[in-house]
């Protein structure tokens, strides 16, 4: 099943890369901007230099990115794939207007709220532990275990929003039931690309900073994690198209 899914994904990307690269790049840009915000907010490197109004603006921008822009961009990418899979190339319309409807925005924000909140908690604690304060260890461990369950069960919600399901959370829970092993194998099948991106990151860290130390704090460089150091421009659409076909196959088998 996984080989078939990935073969279909490669064929779709080969024929439609120019359509897929736009929503993929939007997603990566939003993710990179959110990384910058969360590092300013968490580490307090520059935070105390800002007045209250500017701090409030930073927080509001960060919340807008995490709870609205990034989830909507994921739905946009799935919607683009759905349109390409169900219409002729000539009739494919970049679905940005569909994403800006109030119904889609509200549904996307509501169904993604809990997993995003948990992810921010885990990311916050992990950053504090990694760089500054080990007192957050148990909070991070508990949040991580809860987060794994929640992320897994909510994993298909954006897919279901994109295909206009009325109950994306319910459908996602049903779809993801008892397929953890298969989905894990699908994720692991991209490990080569991930290792390539990580290797490029380590090499760039050495070139610019002369240090391979894993705890060297270089947010200026690590912001490019969001783009996979260039690999992400292919890997992001590859992952999402593979997820789309994986979910499609599972959904068809549930009927």
**Is the pLDDT confidence value at 18 over 80?**
yes
Structure tokens at 92: 């494919």
pLDDT for residue 95: 61
Tally of CA atoms within 13 A in the half-sphere of 250 that contains its CB: 22
Q: In the structure, what pLDDT confidence band is assigned to residue 57 with cuts at 50, 70 and 90?
A: confident
pLDDT in tens, 143-192: 667 777 788 889 999 999 999 888 999 999 999 988 888 999 999 999 99
Percent of the chain exceeding pLDDT 90 equals 42
| Residues 214-238: b if buried by 16+ CB within 10 A, e if exposed | eeeeeeebbbbbbbbbebbebbbbb
Which of 229, 225, 237, 234 lies closest to 34 in space, CA to CA?
225
Residue 205 CA, chain-centre distance (Å), reads 24
- Burial (0-12, 13-18, 19+ Cβ within 10 Å), 49: exposed
- Burial (0-12, 13-18, 19+ Cβ within 10 Å), 112: buried
> To which H or E segment does residue 22 belong?
helix 2-43
> What mean pLDDT value characterizes the chain?
82
In angstroms, what CA-CA distances link 71 with 3, 35, 114, 137, 156? 28, 15, 12, 28, 12
DSSP state of 154: T
Tally of CA atoms within 13 A in the half-sphere of 215 that contains its CB: 7
pLDDT for residue 218: 62
Q: What is the pTM of this model?
A: 0.86
pLDDT for residue 175: 92
């Amino acid at each position: 099943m996984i080989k078939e899914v990935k073969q279909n994904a490669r064929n779709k990307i080969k024929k439609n890369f120019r359509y897929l690269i736009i929503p993929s790049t939007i997603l990566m840009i939003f993710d990179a901007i959110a990384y910058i915000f969360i590092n300013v907010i968490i580490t307090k490197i520059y935070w105390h230099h800002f007045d209250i109004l500017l701090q409030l603006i930073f927080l509001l921008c960060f919340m807008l990115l995490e709870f609205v822009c990034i989830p909507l961009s994921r739905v946009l990418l799935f919607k683009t794939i759905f349109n390409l899979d169900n219409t002729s190339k000539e009739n494919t319309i970049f679905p940005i207007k569909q994403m800006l409807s109030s119904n889609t925005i509200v549904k996307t924000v509501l169904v993604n709220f809990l997993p995003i909140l948990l992810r921010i908690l885990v990311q916050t604690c992990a950053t504090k532990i990694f760089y500054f304060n080990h007192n957050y260890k148990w909070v991070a461990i508990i949040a991580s275990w809860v987060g794994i369950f929640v992320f897994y069960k909510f994993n298909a919600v954006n897919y279901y929003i994109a295909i206009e399901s009325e109950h994306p959370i319910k459908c996602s829970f049903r779809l993801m039931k008892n397929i953890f092993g298969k989905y894990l194998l699908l994720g692991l099948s991209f490990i080569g690309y991930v290792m390539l991106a990580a290797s490029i990151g380590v090499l760039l860290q050495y070139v610019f900073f002369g240090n391979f130390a894993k705890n060297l704090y270089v947010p200026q460089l690590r912001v490019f994690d969001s783009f996979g150091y260039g690999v992400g421009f292919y890997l992001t659409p590859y992952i999402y198209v593979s997820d789309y076909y994986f979910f499609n196959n599972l959904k068809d088998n549930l009927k």
